[in-house]
Structure 1
Amino acid sequence: MALGEASPYRVSPTKTRLVATGCPTIGYFVDSDEYFVSGCTSVCRPAQYAIAGQGSCTGVGCCQSAIPPGVSYYQPNTLSLQGGNFTTCQYVFLADADWFSYSDRVFFNRTDDFAAPVVLDCAVRNVGNCSAAQQNMTDYVCRSGNSECVPSTNGAGYRCNCKQGYEGNPYLDGGCRDIDECRRKDEYPCYGDCTNLPGNYTCKCRPGTDGDAYKQNGCRPKDRFTLALKVVTGFGVGVVLLLLCVCLNLGLEKGKLIRTKQRFFEQNGGVILQQQMRSYTSAGAGAGGFKIFSEDELEKATNSFAADRVLSRGGHGIVYKGVLEDKTVVAIKRSKMMEEAQTKEFAREMLILSQINHRNVVKLLGCCLELTAKVSDFGASKLAPDDEAEIATLVQGTCGYLDPEYLMTCQLTDKSDVYSFGVILLELLTRKKALYFDGPEEDRSLVSCFMTAMKAGRHEELLDSQVRNEMRAEVLEEIAHLVMRCLSMSGEERPTMKEAAERLERLRYQQHPWAQADGNLEERQTLLPMEQRDLPSMFRQQDVLDLEEGSTYTYSL
C-alpha cells in the first residue's frame, strides 16, 4: 500500500495495528526506502503444552504491534524461522484494531486470500499547520462560517471541524448548521423550559420553581419568602454588625443573669435556709428530704408554667401542677415577691413544714429561691414568732375559714381551728366552696346559707345528692348539728377538736352496716380495727379542697 507524501491520508496509529499470523515467523513492514517500520515475532507451541490464554494474539501463532504516526507507505514482509512445528501459511497485514479478533480456528491454518479493513487519518497536507493555512485564505479549505481549524495529530497538515453546537460539512460554504439541542433531549438534557440558541441552548426552571434545570429533579418549588430574604440581604451589613454587638454582650448578660439569680437566692433567704439545713442535719434532726429546687427544674416540671397547668389562682400567687424528673406529681405554688425582712421567717417556716409528715397534710418537698416559685403545700400559713404579743398582727388566713370571733377580739384560740374545721366539713357535705362571688350577695357565704337553712329546716337542700344517698338520715342529721356547733359564733359553744373527732368516729361506726345489728355500741366499737375508727365515710381517697387565695388542703382516708 503506497499513499504517497502528497496524499491527505495516513495510517491511523491509534486505530490500526500490524498483525502477523502463522509460526514460526517474523512479520514486519518497511517504508518506501525499505527501512524497517514495525514488526513482531510469532512462534509455535505444541498443543499438549497449551497454556491458559492461548488463542489471544500475544506471540503464540499470532503477534501484533503498534503503528507509528506518519505512515504513508506499507510493504509487508515475513521472515521464516527454524523450528520443529510450523504452519502452512503465514500472513502479515494491517487491520482495524476493533475488527481483528484472533482465534486458532480462523487464522492458524488459513490458506485463502482475505481482505482486512484499515483506518486512515485524513488531513490537508499542503501546509504544515493551521497558522500557515489561515495566512492564505484562497487555499484555506475550512469554508463554513461556523467551522474551525484543527491541527493534524498524524503528520503535518490540518483538518476542519464544525464548531461546538454545529454539525455538517465544514469544507462547504454554510455546511455547518446549528444543532437544535431542544429537539435532542437524549443528547442535550433539559428538565425545564428549553430555548435554542446559535451554537448553544439554555434550559431554565419553569415559573414557580428554581434550581438546576439541566439535572433531573433539579428544579424545586420556589421558597415563597425568597423576595423577603432578598430584602433582608440588603440590610445584611447592618445586621452582621448588630450580631457582632450582641455576641459581645452575651458573655456580660450571662454573667449578669447568674448574679441576678444569686441575688434572688440570697434575698429570698437561701443562705439562711442552707445554714439552718446544715444545723438540722448536724443536730441529727435531718432536713426531712427538703430540697432547694432550681428555676430550670420547675420550668421543666410545669412546661414553662403553661396555662393548662394552672390549678388555682389566689392573692398570694398561682398554683401549678408539676411533674418532676422522677415522675413525681407535685403542686408548685408560684408566690408573689417576698419582702426582704421576711426571708429569715420564710427559711424557718420552710424547714419546719418539711418536718410535717401526715397523711392528711400535703407534704412540703422543697422550694425555689431564684425569679420565686415554691414547691410546697398549697396553704402554708405564716408562723407566729416566739413573742406572742405580735400574734394578732401576723396571723394570716383565708376568707371564709377564719374564726369570726378573731375579727372582734384579735385573739386566736383552740376553738378557732374548730371553726375552720367546721367550714371544711360543710364543704364536704355540700361540695361547694366556702365563698363564691359570682352569686347574689346574700348567698356568697356558704356558712351563712347553711345557718339560715338549718333554722328553717331546709338544710338538706344544700347537701350534695350523693352524700344524701350514701348516708343514713339520722347520721346525716347528727353531722349537720355537729357542723352547726363547730360554726357557732361563740368559741365557748364550739366543741373541742377531740370531741368533734370522737363524735365523727361514732357516727362513722353507725353508718357501717354492722352498726344495724343489736348489741352494745361501745363494745362493738372497740372490736373495730384502728384504721376503721377514723374519719366519717364521707371522706374519700384524696378529696382535695381548692380554697380561696390559692390554698388547698388534702384529706385522704
Structure 2
Amino acid sequence: MSFFLLLLLLVLSAVAGFAPTAATSKTISSIAKPNCDDHCGNVSIPFPFGLTQECALNTNFSITCNTSFHPPKPFLSRTVEVRDISVEGQLRVMKLVAKICYNKGENRSSLRISYTSSRFYVNQTANKFVAVGCDTFANVYAYGDDQSYKTGSNCVSICNTTHDVTTTNGTCSGFGCCETGIPNVARNVYHSLDSLNYYNYTAGDINNCSYAFVVQKEEFRFSPTMLTRDWDVEKVPMVLDWTISNQTCLTACQGNTTCVAVNGEGYRCACKEGYEGNPYLPPGCQDVDECENGQNNCSKNAICSNTEGGYECSCKKGYRGDGKSALGCTSSNHRRHIMLVLGKPTPSLLSILLGDQRNPQSLLDGVYFVGIITKLISCFGLYVKYKRKKSVQMKKKFFKDNGGLILQGRIDQGSTSSSTTRIFAAQELKKATNNYDHTRIIGQGGFGIVYRGNLLDGRIVAVKKAKMMDPTQVEQFINEVIVLSQINHRNIVKLFGCCLETEIPLLVYEFISNGTLSEHLHNKDKASALPWSTRLRIATETAEVLSYLHSAASPPIIHRDVKSVNILLDDDYTARVSDFGASRLVPQDQTQLTTMVQGTFGYLDPEYLQTNHLTEKSDVYSFGVVLVELLTSRRALSFDGPEKERHLSQYFLSLLKENKLFKILDDNIVCHGNIEELREVALLAKRCLNVKGDDRPTMKEVAVELGGLRRAKKHPWINNSDTSMESDSLLTEQPIPFGYGATFSITTTEYDSLKHHMEFPAAAGR
C-alpha cells in the first residue's frame, strides 16, 4: 500500500507543477568574431578558425581563402582544401590519392603519401583505408609524435588471372578492392602504394593503375567500374579532429557550455543541452526556443512554454496529464469513464490512500492516476514478458539456422560426443567474457574479434566472434566443427565447442598464453632468446601436425593458411598449430580441390594461385616459408628494405643459388657446431619451395627428415653425410619461385572452412 501511496504523491506533485514561465527568444550570435568574415565561398568558417590571424584563435586555426576558384575555396596551410568545419570538433578536408600506373615490361615504382600535422588528428572511426587495383599492395601506418613507435595495417587487392574484373558492388574483400581500419589517435599518418610485381593487367579495358587513400567511410563505395580505364580520382574527403591545446577550459569555453578533455592533448567545448551557438565566442551559447522551432515533445492538446535551457508542457483547459508522456493530455470526460470502470471508492479507502477526505476532487484525481499507473505497470510487465519470449524465439531460430539441430542429432546418434563437441549457451559465453568487454580482446582482424573468457569450471578459453557466416554451407560447417573438435594432437590448439544461439556462431578454443611464433621471430629481443635447438623443435612439431592432418586425420585436412602467425607457443615454447579458419576437408578418393584462392601472400603456393587447384602440397610450400623464417628471423614480406629483399622466399633462394646462404641466416643461431645442420634445413626449405607441387616432398617426409636432424643433434655420432652431399650438389640448382607477401582473404562461391574467422595479430595469445 505504501508503494501506491508513494506513486500517488509523486504523480500528484508532478501534476501540480509550476506556472508556465514565459521566455524571450534570444538571437543566436554569429559563428565568427565581430567584423570577421564567416564564409569562404560555400564553406562556413566558425571561430576558433578564421580567415586571418586576427580572426582566428591562433595561427593553428588560420584558414586561407583562395579566390582564384569560383566559388572561392578555403585551405589549411595553403595546400589542404577544407570542405567543411564543425564547432563540434571535426573538419573535412580533401587529400591526395596515392596512384601508380605501369605498362608491361616497365619497372614498377612505389609511392608514399603522408598527412603530418601538429594540430589535428585523423579520425579513426569516421575514416577507412582503401586500396583499389588488380595488382596492388598498400599499407597505412602512423608514427608517434616523437617517432618512437609505428603502427598500421596493409591491404592487398588483386584480380584473377583471366582478367575478369566482375565483382559485387560495394564489396571490398580483396578482389579489385581492399579496405581496412586506420591507426588510432594518429597525427602522423602515411600510406604507401606498391605493386606485387607479378601480374600484367594491360589487356582490354583493365585499368593498369593502382590507388590507395584514406577516405571518409560514407564517401566511398566500391564499384567494378573503378577497375576500368574510365575511372580516375585525384582527391577524396578525409575527416580530421581538432582540439584547443594551448588554453584551459576556463579560458576557452564561454557561457552555458561544457568542456571535455580529448586524447589527453587538449580540450573541446560544447553547448549545454537546450542551448546552441558557438561555445568559443562570448557570451557563449544561447537558449534554444524549443516551442518555436518544434524541438519539443509536447503532446496533442498541450501548451509548450519555453524556459531557460528547456521547456515545459501543460495541458489545455479541460484536459489532464503531464503533456509529454504516451498518455499526454486526456479529456476530463475520459477520466470520468475510467472512474466508472474502476468504481467509486469510499471515503474510508481514500482516507487510507491519502489521509485527507476534505478535498474529494483531489481524491478522485488520485484514484484516477492509481488506475493509470496500474495499467502502465501491467503493460510494462507484458512488454518484458514479450521481450523474453522474443529472445527465446530468436535463439531457437539462430540455433536452427546455424545447424544446431544437425549437430545435436549427431551427438544423439553417437557419431560425435558431447564431451568433445560441446554446445555452449550464449549467456554462458557472455558471462565468461564479461559481456564481451573490450579489455578482454586478445585478437582482431578483418573477419572478427577474439576474446579471452573464463568458464565456470575455471578453464581459460579464446572465444572467436566472427562477422559473417555462409548460410548455404551450414551442414559443411557443422561437419568441420565436429572433425576439428575430435582432433586429438598435443600440438594442435583444441576446439572445445561452439555456440549456435547467436546470429553468427561463436567458436570456443583452448587459450595459449605465450603469443605466436611470428611475434618471437620478428622481435629482436625475443628472437635473440630463441636458440636454434628450440627453433628446430618448433619446426619438427609443426611438420608433424601437418603430416597428421594430411595422412592420419579422417577425412584428411588441408590447413591452407600455414604461417608463423598461426603457430602459437605455450610457456615451454611447444608449438601449437591454430586457426583452421581456411581449412578444407578432402573428400574420399580426391587428391585436390578446385576453389577460389584464399591464404596469405608470402606463404601462398604459386601453383595454387595460378591454377586454383588446392592440394596437400600447398601446405608444404607454406611450411617451407616458415622454415625460412626460422632460419632468418625475417618476415615473409617486407617493403622496408631493397626491392630484391622484398619477398623472403625469392631472396632466400637467390642467395642459396649463389652459395651465400649465411648472408641471410640469423646471426643468433649460427655457431661452429651447427653449420651443417643449418645447411640441411635450408636444403629442405628449398625443396618445399619448388614451384611445381609434384617436386615438393610430402609433409610426412618433411617431418621424418626434421625428426632425424633432431635425433642427430642429440646423438652426434649418427652419420648424415649422404644428406650433406645432396645439400652441396643442390646449392646451384634452380628454379626460384616468386614469393608473395601480405595477408588477404577472398570470398569464394564454395564453402571455405570456418572462413569467418579472423587472423590474430602477432601479439595476441590464443
Range class of TM-score, shorter chain: 0.3 to 0.5
Kindly name which structure, 1 or 2, has the bigger radius of gyration based on alpha carbons.
Answer: 1
Q: What TM-score, normalized to structure 1?
A: 0.46
Q: What TM-score, normalized to structure 2?
A: 0.34
Larger relative contact order (CA 8 Å, sep ≥ 6): 2
